[in-house]
Amino acid sequence: MNIENHPVVSREEWLAARKQHLAREKAFTKERDKLSAERRALPWVKIDKDYHFQGANGELKLADLFGGRSQLIIYHFMFAEGWDEGCPGCSYLSDHIDGANQHLAHHDVAVVAVSHAPLA
């Protein structure tokens, strides 16, 4: 939308438009919540593959990534072959995960990032 031609209306007109939009936002939120619940209800898949990861102190198996916690979040940090640096979105998240990681640890959740990037 061009800012020069953007409509300017009275507060009453804006409020009417905002209420109409809010109704659509609430309907969208309910649908998203329903879809999220359906995703959480999907069956789980047993991990039979013997995954190995290279960490700062050598090779790790999938079970090692839990670090003694009962739950694990694995974040795939995107770094494709030939790239000089990681995905901008992944880099941003990595710069800000420490605060959330502290709270997740209090809920018995370990967080690790995996990537095809060189360890260095």
Which tens digits make up the pLDDT trace of 90-117? 999 989 888 888 899 999 999 999 998 8
Residue 29 and residue 77 in one domain: no
pLDDT in tens, 55-71: 989 999 999 999 999 99
> What integer pLDDT is reported at residue 98 of this predicted model?
84
Residue 36 and residue 75 in one domain: no
Residue 60 and residue 82 in one domain: yes
> What integer pLDDT is reported at residue 117 of this predicted model?
87
> What integer pLDDT is reported at residue 118 of this predicted model?
82
Q: How many CB atoms sit inside 10 A of residue 63's CB?
A: 10
User: What mean pLDDT, rounded, does the chain reach?
Assistant: 93
pTM: predicted TM-score of the whole model, two decimal places: 0.66
Which of 33, 40, 42, 65 is closest to 52 using CA atoms? 65
Residue 47 placed within a domain: no
Residue 119 placed within a domain: no
Residue 17 and residue 62 in one domain: no
The total of structural domains in the chain comes to 2
Residue 8 and residue 56 in one domain: no
99 phi, psi to nearest 5 deg = -60, -45
In the predicted structure, residue 1 carries a pLDDT above the cut 70: no
In the predicted structure, residue 120 carries a pLDDT above the cut 80: no
In the predicted structure, residue 7 carries a pLDDT above the cut 80: yes
Q: Domain span at residue 8? A: 3-40
Which of 89, 92, 90, 112 is closest to 101 using CA atoms? 112
